[in-house]
Amino acid sequence: MKKVFDFDFLGRKLVVEVGELAKQTNGSVLIRYGDTVVLSVCVMGKNTITADFFPLTVLYQERLYSVGKIPGGFIKREGRPTDEATLAARLIDRPIRPMFDENLRNEIQIINTVLSVDQDNSPIMSALFGSSLCLGISDIPFDGPVSGVVVGKIGKEFIINPTADELEKSSLNLTVAGTKDAICMVEAGAQELSEKDMLDAILFGHEHIKILCDFQQKIIDEVGIVKKELAIASIDETLENSVREYATKDMLKAIQIKDKLLSYEKIEEVKNSTLENFAEIYANAENIEQILKDVKKIVDTIEGDEVRRLITEEKIRPDGRKMDEIRPLNAQIDLLPRTHGSALFTRGETQALATTTLGAIGEHQILDGLGIEEEKRFMLHYNFPQFSVGEIGRYGSPGRREIGHGALGERALAQVIPSEEEFPYTIRVVSEILESNGSSSQATICAGCLSLMAAGVPIKKPVAGIAMGLITNGKKYTILTDIAGLEDHMGDMDFKVAGTKDGICALQMDIKIKGVTKSILKEALAQAKKARLEILEVMNRCISEPRTELSVYAPKIETFKIDPEKIKDVIGRGGDMITKIILESSHVKTVNDKDAVKVDLEDDGRVIIYHSDAEIIKKTKEMILDVVREVEYGQIYDGKVVKVEDFGCFVELWPGCEGLVHVSHLDHKRVEKASDLFKVGDSITVKSLGYDNRGRLNLSRKEVLPKPKKEKINND
């Protein structure tokens, strides 16, 4: 039976419909937020799986009909998820996942289908709300509810769920998710926001999250059903004690080896040795495979427990650093001679090689998604090959992790990228992770920033990033600066902060526990700022400011303005004029030739010319100016005869500008045919007589010739 719940959330109507759609799922809700409509459903597999992990999948499905669009390309239907859809699915997954028992082994899928989009009411926040609520009313065990909001900042005021126009003016785009008791996910882009303002914004968002969680709980109390009792993966206590007694001492030694590869090698030796030992002990057991799976899990738990105990109780990190100490740093530029900009940033055993490529404005990325933005001129792409961790693995299109890390780096550096008017280029940064031992996304930001400066992109300020960690043990906790692989894998929080010396540009927080407090956030932000300033100092010693000149291999640029009404003349009929300009100025046979000059014509009359050869740019500019040049009445011009008819000859004053010298204006004396005086290719000097009422230019040669002397009359 259909039930409808509505709620006025800060002046906007939030409506939940339950019981009518997708009734064969475990839980289904239709969320209406303004004109945004999202269907959120959850489904659970009936049987447990044998894999040793919690099988949760979160999907965010964009439907282009939701914004009145037909998909591009030949197929005309939605294909692989856009980057935006992938990021949305990750954003929903991150606060939802910690609310499940990690020992569940029933496969759970949460599917959000976006049916209608009102740009002022976020479909992603609606989907997060719906994901939590469909789980809450279902029979699936879930320790929610969870909600999220977007926080903006205009002037000194914080705004919850800003409209598209408000977000355009906002110095902050912050997504916060949490339960009514704690914050469990943060994602932010900001224009150098202070640590205090960022903390205030997060807490401001959490106050409104509590309201949304209360609304969810009201619905759950009314329509929710009893949760199922599911089998939880468990381990025999006797086996666990035996494994701990056998492996703990050797594991403790292995995790304290400072060299990552050697440490991982010794850890693997301990695990293999333990498995071999218990395989021998239980060789005759019927469930030997399950026993060995449990042994492996126990050894993994020992590894995590010892890392946690060493840090929280003895204040010893696996590699011996202090709690706020950064690994050794190194920054280099100009490694690659033919790229427009390149840089290598190394932090301990994490290493990122970044390149910057500059292109014409017309080379921007076309976005085929649900947002207002349809193109993007700054892109950052992140590649994580398996060799970076000394392993073999899959190579192909980027996965969710690569898309997510690239988006975080792009968000951080986008805050300092010059405007199109200041620097009319499309900019692409690519980060290749060559080594990884934690925090490769933040190494990407540092390397990317260095490569931008090396390429001569006039960024506003350098940006650096650092990853903070949290290790808890009961009520004790320790915040770590620059977390390495083991600390990242075994820890409770991954808190990434990027910014300039003056403020935060991007922030991302993921946690494995149920939430973090204000005091932990405040301490982590302060510790991150100290580390960020240390990294910026190292980067500054490598390159202190953007270069004033571009690489010889980068396209040079010339920008000028013409009358917008003249753009059609520069393009010509069917593009014939612009094609002619490109071919003649570049000395190529086709406009697709790699050596052809690139010309962008903007609606406001801006003309942007790109080429590596300054002379070709100059020639192109002259030809365009010739096309838009106005003929002044009464002025004298040197031209060339391009066509001869009996009634006169056509004269080209400059490319794209032709006029007629009528036969009556060729000479003071009578001329029968124009061909009596001129042929095609002859030079001629003429005077402008202006345009007739049909827009045709009239010229005169007679007006520039000396007037003949009158003959003296003899009266004798």
CATH code of the domain covering residue 245: 1.10.10.400
Stronger pLDDT, 487 or 441, i.e. the higher one: 441
Q: What is the DSSP string of 476-524?
A: EEEEEES--HHHHHHSSEEEEEEEETTEEEEEEEEESSS-B-HHHHHHH
Same domain, yes or no: 253 and 360: no
d(CA 348, CA 326): 8
Same domain, yes or no: 381 and 253: no
- The whole-number pLDDT of residue 595 equals 87
Q: For residue 631, what is the DSSP state?
A: P
Same domain, yes or no: 166 and 308: no
Q: Which of 37-51, 365-379, 575-589, 650-664 has the lowest mean pLDDT?
A: 365-379
Whole-number percent of the chain with pLDDT over 70: 98
* 707: confidence class by pLDDT, cuts 50, 70, 90: confident
- Residue 136: give the domain boundaries: 3-223
For the chain, the C-alpha Rg in angstroms (whole number) is 34
Non-local CB neighbours of 165 within 8 Å, separated by 6+ positions:
120
Backbone φ/ψ region at 656: left (φ over 0), alpha (ψ -120 to 50), beta: left
* 373: confidence class by pLDDT, cuts 50, 70, 90: low
Same domain, yes or no: 24 and 156: yes
Condensed to tens digits (0 to 9), the pLDDT of residues 403-418 reads 999 999 999 999 999 9
Same domain, yes or no: 619 and 647: no
Same domain, yes or no: 123 and 266: no
Token digits of residue 609: 């010319």
CA distances from 171 to 25, 397, 422 (A): 41, 33, 20
Q: pLDDT at residue 714 above 70?
A: no
Q: pLDDT at residue 306 above 90?
A: no
Average pLDDT over residues 62-79: 87
* 4: confidence class by pLDDT, cuts 50, 70, 90: very high
Estimate to the nearest angstrom the gap between the alpha carbon of 578 and the chain centroid.
33
Same domain, yes or no: 448 and 596: no
CATH code of the domain covering residue 60: 3.30.230.70
Same domain, yes or no: 283 and 343: no
* 176: confidence class by pLDDT, cuts 50, 70, 90: very high
Same domain, yes or no: 195 and 294: no
Do 233 and 289 meet the contact criterion of CB atoms below 8 Å apart? no
Condensed to tens digits (0 to 9), the pLDDT of residues 544-589 reads 999 999 998 898 888 999 999 989 989 988 999 999 999 999 988 8
Q: How many domains does the chain have?
A: 5
